[in-house]
Amino acid sequence: MNHSPFRTAAERQAEREQKREAVLRAAVAMFNSRGFHTTSLDDVAASLGVSKPTIYHYLGNKDQVLLECVTRGVEQLRAAADAVRAVPGTGFDRLGEYLRRYAEIIMDDFGRCVIRTDHEQLSEESSLRFRALKRDVDKAMQGLIAEGIADGSIAPTDVKLAGFTLAGALNWPARWHKPDGRLTPEEVATRMVDILMRGLAPR
């Protein structure tokens, strides 16, 4: 057993990741509540009781912090799309499960940041990256719709238009849902998806 008072490389890395995560979560909460332009890295640093150079050390400048926040949200959406491919049942079933997960992610901090961030808020390079990530999510949803049409569990429809319609509806709770509101994110997601999926069921 190692009784050395000095931390191992693994312990130092784990501590760094823990601190980086704390900075990222403080930043995303402020971006969501105050808006990107009215939030400064000084604000984020003050909320954690650290200096602004500490923020730079873990995440970089403000543009890089925002890109990291929206990337985390998009990665959660992409992971949800990948995960539902293992869900048994029809394409209709898998799409419904994905939409529920999608809506719940959108009401959490990083997903909320994806919806509340306009690509114009980012630098040109970061904006291109953000838009490419969002296109991947659009394609994932459209792919699930197409699979349901192919197996007959979803009525034939314009796949792209259906995808944008579903995303448009499910993105709105990122703006109006309150964490302490009457309905939990899970309840909102279930009720909205039930309404939306009725329009895709075969007649």
Give the separation between CA 66 and CA 44, rounded to whole angstroms.
12
The pLDDT-based confidence of 54 (bands split at 50, 70, 90) is confident
120-173 pLDDT, tens digit each: 888 899 999 999 999 999 999 999 999 999 999 999 999 999 999 999 999 999
C-beta separation of 145 from 154 below 8 A: yes
pLDDT tens track for 108-118: 999 999 999 98
Predicted confidence at residue 153, as pLDDT, reads 95
Q: Which two tokens stand for residue 93?
A: 């079933």
Domains of the chain: 8-60 (1.10.10.60), 62-198 (1.10.357.10)
Question: Cα–Cα–Cα angle for 127, 128, 133, nearest 5°?
Answer: 95
* Residue 71 CB burial class (10 angstroms; 0-12, 13-18, ≥19): middle
> What is the rounded average pLDDT of the residues 49-64?
87
- Tell me if residue 50 falls in helix, strand or coil: coil
pLDDT of residue 2: 56
